[in-house]
Amino acid sequence: MEITENKRNDVVVVSVQGRVDASNAGVLEEKLIGLITGGDKRFILDAARLDYISSAGLRVLLVVRKRLPTGGSLALCALQPQIRNIFDIAGFSSIFAIHDTQDEAIAAAHV
């Protein structure tokens, strides 16, 4: 798994490449919690290059969502069909805002 981040206005875009599973989900959790601790509160997880996410990865997203400060948000974008299917089956599509593109997610974050 490779994690990169960049800031677009006041939104932190975290891009994840590869697989998120039990062996590395903690790395993603530490990264996101560290950003929250550092004062960021609006996030987009760009999943354009995410190949697989296990239940451990889904748990990380729930933990991060619960740790967000008031007014904070975590949205997802660019989910590959197999990843979108996992989110749909797990019921996460109704928990998180999911956008087709990063630009759509950024625009929605500023509404």
- CA 20 – CA 7 distance, rounded (Å): 22
- CA 102 – CA 79 distance, rounded (Å): 10
Condensed to tens digits (0 to 9), the pLDDT of residues 73-88 reads: 999 999 999 999 999 9
Condensed to tens digits (0 to 9), the pLDDT of residues 31-88 reads: 999 999 999 999 999 999 999 999 999 999 999 999 999 999 999 999 999 999 999 9
DSSP state of 5: E
User: 0.85 cut: is pTM over it?
Assistant: yes
| CATH domain 2-109 topology | Transcription Regulator spoIIAA (3.30.750)
Going from N- to C-terminal start, the domains of the chain cover: 2-109
